[in-house]
Chains A and B, each alone.
Chain A
């Protein structure tokens, strides 16, 4: 296993995802002789995991079962230990596409934070690209480095512990893209420009507040970036539910039930597993929005470095 290459079977040293149920999972480092406790009982790595196929159902000691999944940057994002606020896959997907990343791209990132975006960037630029990531918090930088090693991707990433606003990315004229997720991105635009290739490249800055965006846009313009564009992407998740609505009794009753115009209590032709059919109800499938959703993560400002 590695985060940039699928493997079939679970091996000693792998990072695997234990899937307990809907939105309920956690990562586990697979090691001979180790056990992991779940609410369904104990998983013994040597016998229950190692050598099994990814995607297997594993029965735990109390008879309950879990699925063991191959790690991906997206699963990692949902399960990683937070050291900072992180970027989620919805924003990451737009960042990756709008920065035009692909195998072979050289990317600069700051700050590394919890490495949520970093894993996704590494996945996309592998096997021939590289990520230069800068984190001014020493402990976080070290922790990220350690994770990259564990996940088999350290050859694709260079972690530097310095202040990007003061010292830049530590590279110049090599990047195809730069990503900034720092409190004052406008102070790093100059460094971003010099990190990018002479023939140009793309930049993205993530900021939660519009005031940060305004200063960043001004700085980008000042440094000659073009195509400056600010976007916001929001994820809407729907629960799939079978809903039944009662038909009101308006006193029409017996004589003329069919003329109400409803397919009353006909199990929908979608073959939904609807059980207690009552008379006088209409059933249908609906995608119901969650009661509470993320309304704002941050503004994404993209721009192009044009030729000199």
Chain B
């Protein structure tokens, strides 16, 4: 599916812009102004190039593939050994702010500006070799703006979301997401249940790992599933053929056998859903009309910073589009609406039927809701001997969930865990950890389902407790002689 011709950037693609460690998801469209890292440009020239190409922004906002330049280090290297004579008098740089601005305005290449800065720094030659290196790197970062266009992947999108909008994904760090995919044994052919309020990022990650094989039932709260992040992956159409959705508010009725599609709160759902699915299309229409990129289209929320406000922003945007849609729809004939409603009911029935088989191959939960009620109900739909994973930003709800699951029975190998991620700077003679990320990545509760013997739940629970509690003592005893 990947590789081959699709390795080239095409119009309409979902792509990710990368500058140093900063990412931004965009759709590739002609004559569309993109603002990224305080720069604006058009993606027109990128079309046709291979993914992974690095571009320079030239005047007029055009992108030009970056030529590999030989580093101009012809002059003999001169460097100090320590900083005993370097005084911070604020006068070491002879170029003023205005000088630098003038250089920039003249459209001089970033590379040359950096060279000028070095030449006009009185202390540069006295700096140690390492300090010179650092100085150049810092200036390059500021003045040599290069942008790489890469293909979206879970790696890139989860890193991007965690850095830019952690509030939207409940602070699910990318290494935690990686754990979930592995602990959940996500692979092609599975029938998965996914309940997430992570903008569709977790759903997208599961879809990527399933490669279009098998089926996914997304449980959603409210009027419809949110898939803003899912759309950033740019999955081919067939990936959506076996993606189903089912409203959380219908779970109890499905479990108790009173489920019908008649009581559907159909209208609002239908609209949000339609809007969600036609996003790509409506966006294209809009952008052909307008030049600026200020409206919060799927990738635009990336630009807004205070993460907590995201949800409200989104709802507003949806509302506007919703109203527009409604107006449009009023004009359209009622018959079409009925067909859509009928199709939606059919889809809902399909999802209900899939769930009712109670043979799902796993359950993934990552939401803003309390995990316990979700788990206690949704596990009913999972086959025995299948893994489940629950994410929560906080540890305490998972402690409770652990206890409740034990009381319920039908689960074994419960494990509450967290991962720490450490980043390293590796350079000759300058290797050290970069930053710790011990906090904020969230917690996971995972386990495996087994056949639940009804009525025996209580005794099996006490047995299970007996089994597990002393076993840790056993472990300790076993550890001692080693």
Distance, CA A185 to CA B438, complexed state (A): 29
B208 within 8 A of partner (CB)? yes
Q: Mark B400-444, 1 if CB is under 8 A from A, else 0.
A: 101110010000111111111111111110010100000000010
Q: Which of B421-475 contact A (CB under 8 A)?
A: 421-428, 431, 433, 443, 448-451, 453, 467-468, 471-472, 475
Q: Which of A118-136 contact B (CB under 8 A)?
A: 120, 123-124, 126-128
Q: Which of A215-240 contact B (CB under 8 A)?
A: 217-218, 228-240
Residues of A within 8 A of B402 (CB): 240
Q: Which of B265-319 contact A (CB under 8 A)?
A: none
Partner of A214, one of B154, B190, B428: B428
Q: Mark A62-86, 1 if CB is under 8 A from B, else 0.
A: 0000011110111000000000000
Q: How large is the interface on A (under 10, 10 to 19, 20 to 34, 35 or more residues)?
A: 35 or more
Residues of B within 8 A of A55 (CB): 383-386, 448-451
With A123-B187, A238-B395 in contact, is A53–B384 under 8 Å at CB?
Answer: yes
A253 within 8 A of partner (CB)? no
A56 within 8 A of partner (CB)? yes
- We find that the number of chain B residues with CB closer than 8 angstroms to chain A is 80
Residues of B within 8 A of A94 (CB): 175, 178
Q: Which of B36-51 contact A (CB under 8 A)?
A: 50-51
Partner of A299, one of B211, B386, B424: B424
The reply to whether B403 and A72 contact each other, CB–CB distance below 8 Å, is: no
Q: Among the interface residues B52, B449, B468, which one has the most CB atoms of the partner chain A within 10 A?
A: B52
The reply to whether B417 and A102 contact each other, CB–CB distance below 8 Å, is: no
The reply to whether A93 and B426 contact each other, CB–CB distance below 8 Å, is: no
A270 within 8 A of partner (CB)? yes
Distance, CA A288 to CA B436, complexed state (A): 21
Residues of A within 8 A of B211 (CB): 102-104, 128
B164 CB, nearest partner CB in chain A, Å: 18
Distance, CA A67 to CA B54, complexed state (A): 54
Q: Mark A136-180, 1 if CB is under 8 A from B, else 0.
A: 000000000000000000000000000000000000000010000
The reply to whether A23 and B403 contact each other, CB–CB distance below 8 Å, is: no
Binds B, one of A2-10, A27-35, A256-264: A2-10
Chain B binding surface, main DSSP class: mixed
B463 CB, nearest partner CB in chain A, Å: 8
With A200-B52, A210-B431 in contact, is A301–B472 under 8 Å at CB?
Answer: no
Residues of B within 8 A of A89 (CB): 179, 182-183
Distance, CA A102 to CA B154, complexed state (A): 10
Q: Mark B380-399, 1 if CB is under 8 A from A, else 0.
A: 00011111000000011011
Residues of B within 8 A of A100 (CB): 153-155
Residues of B within 8 A of A44 (CB): none
Distance, CA A115 to CA B448, complexed state (A): 23
A306 within 8 A of partner (CB)? yes
Residues of B within 8 A of A238 (CB): 395, 416-418
The reply to whether A199 and B403 contact each other, CB–CB distance below 8 Å, is: no
The reply to whether A93 and B183 contact each other, CB–CB distance below 8 Å, is: yes
Distance, CA A228 to CA B414, complexed state (A): 36
Residues of A within 8 A of B175 (CB): 93-94, 97, 233
Distance, CA A285 to CA B51, complexed state (A): 50
Q: Which of B156-175 contact A (CB under 8 A)?
A: 158, 174-175
With A72-B387, A74-B387, A127-B213 in contact, is A120–B182 under 8 Å at CB?
Answer: yes
Q: Which 9 residue pairs are nearest across A and B when measured between Cβ atoms?
A: A55-B384, A103-B211, A55-B385, A93-B182, A54-B385, A97-B178, A230-B424, A22-B468, A22-B471
Jot down 27 A-B pairs with beta carbons below 8 A, ordered by A.
A6-B190, A55-B383, A56-B450, A67-B385, A72-B387, A74-B182, A74-B183, A74-B387, A93-B175, A93-B178, A96-B181, A100-B153, A102-B211, A127-B189, A199-B52, A200-B52, A213-B426, A233-B420, A236-B419, A237-B416, A238-B395, A238-B416, A238-B418, A239-B472, A273-B403, A285-B403, A306-B52
